[in-house]
Amino acid sequence: MFTVIVALLVIALVVTLLIKGWYPQAVLFMGGLILLTFTAIFDWGTLLGAKQTTNFVGFDIFKVFSTGFSKRIAGLGLTLMAIGGFSRYMEHVGASSALFAVFEKPLKLIKSPYILLGASFIVSQIMVVFVPSHAGLALLLMVTLYPILIRSGVSPMSALGVIGCAQYMDVGPGSGNAILAAQTAGLDVSEYFVYYQLPMFVTITAILVVVHMIVQRWWDKREGWVFDPSKLATLAGNKDMEADKKVPKIYAILPIIPLVLIIVFSKVAGSHIRMDVVTAMVISTIVAMIFEMIRLRSFQAVLSSFKLFFEGMGKILVSVVSLIVCGEFFAAGLIKSGFMATLIDAANSAGFGLVTMVIIGGALMWIFAFIMGSGNAAFFSFAPLLPGIAKAIGVNTIQLVFPFQILISFGRVSSPITGAIIAIAGLAGVSPFQIAKRTCIPMAVATLCTYVIYFCFFM
């Protein structure tokens, strides 16, 4: 019982500090450190195996962290860093803006502002697969989609509500959460995307198109929005919202190349050749460099630009990989202290089955993501616990990993402290809370629909 009390107090402390905006990596590391220290002092469990131990328990606490760091940096960490490097290079060459330009003209042909809003949501979801960063995609849409919407009679808040939901689901082989989910469930990332994520993603997206049109119109009427063409400059914040990269339209294919490589050379396509994410990102970056050599005719300048790939990798190491490692260190504290085993035993004693675990656990994951303002922090912290829980209730790991990974995304997009929401609020000059209230209802609908679809078709 003492173990449970200590763990709950540490969890409460961690959540409180995260709500206050403290640096999440340090908070999660501190939580893990406290739990592992108590574990060592009161002998609640073994920190490391016989082959890994330093033979001094005080050092073993930190060896848990270094062991986890080594494991992640060589696997998932390298994958995410490669994605970050590729994304940074795509930003440099203007490929993401070129991709959006493909959709720009058809959108301008739509006259009804709310139909345009729904069509824009579809476009943003197509781009999610190729621009796997919530904040990155949201900012791209702010300099491309946002001006089109407000010039077509869509209210700024409705436009921001749709853009805030740009990556409402972490989907695709480029998503860190999707990659971790696939690895945790023991699946190839392409299999997880095609057989699990894609059917859910397409169905929920179709529903949300209608939901956004209805909800955003309701909010506009409630807030008394009336379109005034004379105020367009003010609505745009007196900023030049046009993309500053003018590149050939053929550059639009560059962000798509990694997805094509990963899907074509996989079990899904029946190929005997296998393409991992890191290799796909490196090949795609080299292809982009060749495009740049042809366009710029400067061999030295293009070679020099390759450093941006590594800068992007470094940025992901600092922001995302460090979060994964610290989240897993915190999770290690929950596991090694015996807290999770106690909860699992309690669930077994209470007769919790898959349905109850998905409903209650999914709701908790949603709340954690909302509080933290990050889907990564929530999922990376608790994903390592899911195989043990799945085994305890007698189901395959994927049956817990899949719904939890999806539901966490909805909690993040509903939060006013999510990075993407804060970023677009700053550009538009509004409060993040104003945008969050525009995203909450669609995400609540998405949550309910996900439960129904999962229990009807995926159990």
Domain extent listing, the chain: 76-309
Nearest to 402 by CA among 182, 85, 202: 182
Which amino acid, one-letter code, is at 322? S
Q: What is the DSSP string of 320-367?
A: IIHHHHHHHHHHHHHHHTTHHHHHHHHHHHHT--HHHHHHHHHHHHHH
| 243 Cβ neighbours under 8 A, 6+ residues apart | 94, 97, 100, 143, 144
For residue 243, pLDDT beyond 70: no
At 164 the pLDDT is: 95
Neighbours of 85 (CB within 10 A): 24
- Give CA–CA dist 179/175, Å, rounded: 6
Which amino acid, one-letter code, is at 404? F
- Give CA–CA dist 432/424, Å, rounded: 8
pLDDT mean over 118-146: 81
| 419 Cβ neighbours under 8 A, 6+ residues apart | 134, 135, 373, 374
Residues 82-112: tens digit of each pLDDT: 878 887 898 888 886 787 677 767 777 888 8
> Of all residues in the chain, what percent carry a pLDDT higher than 90?
40
Neighbours of 54 (CB within 10 A): 13
pLDDT mean over 243-261: 79
- Give CA–CA dist 93/249, Å, rounded: 12
Structure-token pair, residue 202: 């397409």
Structure-token pair, residue 152: 């077509």
At 235 the pLDDT is: 58
For residue 237, pLDDT beyond 50: no
Rounded to the nearest integer, the mean pLDDT of the chain is 86
How distant, in Å, are the alpha carbons of 343, 396, 401, 409 from that of 190?
33, 19, 16, 19
For residue 401, pLDDT beyond 60: yes
- Give CA–CA dist 10/37, Å, rounded: 12
Nearest to 15 by CA among 28, 6, 1, 26: 28
- Give CA–CA dist 168/178, Å, rounded: 13
pTM passes above 0.85 = no
